[in-house]
Amino acid sequence: MTSQDIAASRPAELGDELTAETQTALERAQASHRHEALFSERAYNIKQSAVRDVFDISIQPGLVSLAGGSPSLSKLPLELVAETASRVIVEHGMEALHYGGGKGTLALRELICEIMAEEGIVGASAEDVVVTTGSQSAQDIAAKIFCNPGDVVLVEDPTYVGALNTFEAYQVQVEPVFMDDDGLIPEHLESRIAELEAEGKRIKLLYTIPSFNNPSGITLAAERRQRIVDICSAHNILVLEDNPYGMLRFDGHPLPPLRADNPDDVIYCGSFSKIFSPGVRLGWALVPRHLYRRFYLAAEAVVLCPSTLNQLIVTEFFRAFDWRGYLAESRATYAERCSAMLEALAEHFPPEATWTTPDGGFFVWVTLPEGIDTYPLLYQAIEAGVVFIPGAAFTPSDGTSSKLRLAFSGVTPEQIREGVRRLAPVVRSAVEA
């Protein structure tokens, strides 16, 4: 409310006299109006995240949340985590509670190299790793050091809403590139680059989630991977590979990340959020050596150093724990949940709806007939006791979307079946309208 609104809404019987209460409200409004002028242009570009909004709703009791991409923590040995945390404080004393180096501890960076080797990035050096506050902050650092306002970042359509918010905050022009069932389409990437370059645009980054894309669950086919990097390299565009779900492939070996054979052209972002705990807020970037210094200086300028205590806990916990076995168990849990969702969709959803069949990760992406806007359906879904994320959140273009994201990761098979059963009549009535 502006000061004029408040003044205009004054009760008539007060005449020209303001009550003390109205006076205070008026002063507050004037103050907030004054400060409004102080915001940077960047601040106005920071959008409210649909996922965070729905997250707040989804914690209401009784609702089944198919919204948030939360990892399942139910099989984490909490006692071992607690024991490790207390041992770290006893054994490391004040070091655990102090500032540390801006790159992160060497021990954690070495562990990160072992984790990446499991997925096919063999021989990475701890010297090229920066520990970050989750993968989210690695994206922020990349946008900060590479993008001027008006520069272009290419993204998959659809893509992770948190990355869209980050890029938009840096006043970047975010340009979608189409995907099919095999991920990003190389021909479309090439033609989009040609069009944008013809317009005189400076394209800095391709942000991609090649394995089990959030929100679609789609994976970039092995035979397309090198081609995507080559196209970008030919145009001097850096690839920002975001891979928090890569280790969570249900069956078989993970596909090697884009970074595996391209150490100079790809910044790789990893995370402990999906393989251990999002609450420790630890992730990492594996950065080409020639870019490393600027990357970690920018990281230092934001956080000084990642949490020393959490780095010690994660390092010691992973050293004491069969994390490979735990990951195998997690993959089985997510595979079971995914199957429950796919079966429930087949049983309850109308034939006009289609959906992806992911090989890993946390999400199924549902497409309803064109013309249906899934955003208003969310309100009906909440009435029916279930939440999802409407598709429009995951695309840089404004407008409506007939897609919706369903997360199977943080809910049991029973909850998934119940959630899909509750959602089905909402979808059916939209399709029949």
Binding site for ligand PMP (CB under 6 A): 69, 134-136, 160, 162, 209, 214, 242, 244, 271, 273, 278, 283
Determine contact, residues 157/179, Cβ cutoff 8 Å: yes
Spatial separation of the C-alpha atoms in residues 67 and 57, rounded to whole Å: 10
Closer Cβ to ligand PMP, 244 or 358, answer by number? 244
Q: Buried b vs exposed e over 218-234: b needs ≥16 C-beta within 10 Å?
A: bbbeeebbebbbebbee
Q: How many CB atoms neighbour CB 102 within 10 A?
A: 18
- In whole angstroms, how close is the CB of 420 to ligand PMP at the nearest point? 21
Closer Cβ to ligand PMP, 273 or 307, answer by number? 273
Closer Cβ to ligand PMP, 22 or 333, answer by number? 333
- In whole angstroms, how close is the CB of 243 to ligand PMP at the nearest point? 8
Upstream peptide bond of 215 is cis (omega within 30 degrees of 0):
yes
Helix (H) or strand (E) holding 258: none
Closer Cβ to ligand PMP, 349 or 394, answer by number? 394
Amino acid, single-letter form, for residue 261: D
Closer Cβ to ligand PMP, 271 or 367, answer by number? 271
Spatial separation of the C-alpha atoms in residues 335 and 359, rounded to whole Å: 8
User: Which stretches of 310-359 are assigned E, i.e. beta strand?
Assistant: 354-355
Q: What is the DSSP string of 48-116?
A: PPHHHHHHHHHTSTT-EE-SS-PPP-TTS-HHHHHHHHHHHHHHHGGGGGS---TT--HHHHHHHHHHH
Spatial separation of the C-alpha atoms in residues 13 and 396, rounded to whole Å: 50
Q: What secondary structure letter does DSSP report for 207?
A: E
Which residue minimizes CB distance to ligand PMP?
134
Residue 290, SS3 per DSSP: helix
Q: Buried b vs exposed e over 254-292: b needs ≥16 C-beta within 10 Å?
A: bbbbbbbebbebbbbbbbbbbbbbbebbbbbbbbbeebb
- In whole angstroms, how close is the CB of 15 to ligand PMP at the nearest point? 56
Closer Cβ to ligand PMP, 215 or 256, answer by number? 215
- In whole angstroms, how close is the CB of 427 to ligand PMP at the nearest point? 24
Closer Cβ to ligand PMP, 262 or 271, answer by number? 271
Residues 6+ apart with CB under 8 A from 284: 104, 109, 112, 129, 130, 131, 132, 138, 269, 270, 271
Closer Cβ to ligand PMP, 271 or 311, answer by number? 271
- In whole angstroms, how close is the CB of 48 to ligand PMP at the nearest point? 16
- In whole angstroms, how close is the CB of 32 to ligand PMP at the nearest point? 31
- In whole angstroms, how close is the CB of 139 to ligand PMP at the nearest point? 7
Helix (H) or strand (E) holding 29: helix 20-36
Residues 6+ apart with CB under 8 A from 169: 42, 45, 46, 143
Closer Cβ to ligand PMP, 308 or 409, answer by number? 409
Closer Cβ to ligand PMP, 45 or 70, answer by number? 70
- In whole angstroms, how close is the CB of 156 to ligand PMP at the nearest point? 10
- In whole angstroms, how close is the CB of 281 to ligand PMP at the nearest point? 7
Q: What secondary structure letter does DSSP report for 322?
A: -
Determine contact, residues 250/360, Cβ cutoff 8 Å: yes
- In whole angstroms, how close is the CB of 20 to ligand PMP at the nearest point? 46
